[in-house]
């Protein structure tokens, strides 16, 4: 079975501080990992995926197969980064994403 | 935003009554999904569809049924609503299977009294 764990329900940081949202997964095969974000009053949307290795809104995430992690990082948090963040996994042969429980990021001024 | 709408957006109902939520897309995407969002559980898959009349169960499918008679519509039905089904329900669509990007609807908030 595949599983995604986000250990922090809430992460509160000050503007300009570094941010790391943790995501660990359990999957025996070769997974694809994603980060989705839900800003206040907006739809859930894709933030980034590991295969593209791109930086979106200053966020990056590296897949670490040894530690089975896909942590989301940003060196300097902005107030507009405040949102709910979900890590998601897609395994070979499965037709739907498995989501973690989410982490709410609060960036204080 | 992708052309995906959910209805109703808000509903309050009583235990034991049937409820149907509708997801309508104008993108002609093959794959459609119903998730529920609950605090501490995140998003959990209820059912999904990989084509007209082709559906399969997700991890929390008990008490729910779905139908997809047209590409654009994916219906979620609670045959006899229970308080444990109080939740926010999200529909999502995808052009490709799970490796593709999901586009979400705005959500339907259901309260079962």
Left (φ > 0), alpha (ψ -120 to 50) or beta: where does B107 sit?
left
Look up residue A12 and give its two tokens.
């509160």
Closest CA to A87 of A1, A2, A14: A2
Judged by a CB distance cut-off of 8 A, whether residue B96 touches chain A is no
Q: Which residues of A touch B92 (CB under 8 A)?
A: 44
Confidence of residue B2 (pLDDT cuts 50, 70, 90): low
User: Cβ separation of B42 and A99 shorter than 8 Å?
Assistant: yes
Rounded Cα distance, B111 and B113, in Å: 6
Of A28-42, A51-65, B38-52, give the lowest mean pLDDT range: A51-65
**Contact call for residues A88 and A34 (beta carbons, < 8 A):** yes
- CA of B34 vs chain A CAs: smallest distance (Å): 10
Q: Which range in A27-31, A38-42, A51-55 is most confidently predicted, on average pLDDT? A: A38-42
Query: Does residue B85 have a pLDDT over 90?
Result: yes
Rounded Cα distance, A60 and A54, in Å: 7
Q: What are the tens digits of pLDDT across the range A24-39?
A: 999 888 888 999 999 9
Nearest to B58 among A36, A90, A96 (CB): A96
Which residue in chain A has the smallest CA separation from B5? A43
Nearest to B104 among A32, A44, A49 (CB): A44
The CA radius of gyration of chain B, in Å to the nearest whole number, is: 13
- Tell me the pairing of strands B103-104 and A19-21: unpaired
- CA of B112 vs chain A CAs: smallest distance (Å): 23
Phi, psi of B71 (to 5 degrees): -55, -40
Phi, psi of A61 (to 5 degrees): -150, 130
Q: What are the tens digits of pLDDT across the range B18-34?
A: 999 999 999 999 999 99
**Residue A20, H or E segment:** strand A19-21
For the segment B51-78, the average pLDDT, to the nearest whole number, is 95
The percent of residues above 90 in pLDDT, for chain B, comes to 89
Q: Which residues of B touch A9 (CB under 8 A)?
A: 40
pLDDT reported for residue B1: 61
**Contact call for residues A56 and A32 (beta carbons, < 8 A):** no
Judged by a CB distance cut-off of 8 A, whether residue B105 touches chain A is yes
- CA of B60 vs chain A CAs: smallest distance (Å): 12
SS3 label, residue A79: helix
Judged by a CB distance cut-off of 8 A, whether residue A95 touches chain B is yes
Positions of E strands within chain B: 4-7, 10-13, 19-25, 31-38, 42-51, 54-57, 64-70, 73-78, 87-94, 103-104, 108-112
User: Cβ separation of B44 and A99 shorter than 8 Å?
Assistant: yes
Confidence of residue A92 (pLDDT cuts 50, 70, 90): low
User: Cβ separation of B98 and A90 shorter than 8 Å?
Assistant: yes
**Which DSSP category does B106 fall into?**
-
């Amino acid at each position: 079975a595949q599983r995604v764990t986000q250990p922090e329900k809430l992460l509160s940081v000050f503007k300009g501080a570094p941010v790391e949202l943790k995501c660990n997964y359990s999957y025996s095969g070769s997974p694809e990992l994603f980060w989705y974000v839900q800003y206040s009053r907006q739809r859930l949307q894709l933030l980034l995926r590991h295969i593209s290795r791109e930086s979106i809104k200053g966020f990056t995430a590296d897949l670490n197969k040894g530690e089975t992690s896909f942590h989301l990082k940003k060196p300097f948090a902005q107030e507009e980064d405040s949102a709910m963040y979900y890590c998601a996994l897609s395994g070979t042969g499965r037709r739907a994403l498995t989501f973690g429980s989410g982490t709410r990021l609060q960036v204080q001024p | 935003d992708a052309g995906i709408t959910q209805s109703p957006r808000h509903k309050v109902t009583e235990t034991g009554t049937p409820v149907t939520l509708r997801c309508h897309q104008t993108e002609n995407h093959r794959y459609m999904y119903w998730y529920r969002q609950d605090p501490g559980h995140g998003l959990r898959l209820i059912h999904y569809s990989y084509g007209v009349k082709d559906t399969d169960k997700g991890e929390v499918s008990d008490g729910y049924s779905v139908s997809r008679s047209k590409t654009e519509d994916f219906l979620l039905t609670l045959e006899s609503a229970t308080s444990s089904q109080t939740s926010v329900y999200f529909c999502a669509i995808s052009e490709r299977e799970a490796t593709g990007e999901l586009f979400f609807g705005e959500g339907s908030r259901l309260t079962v009294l």
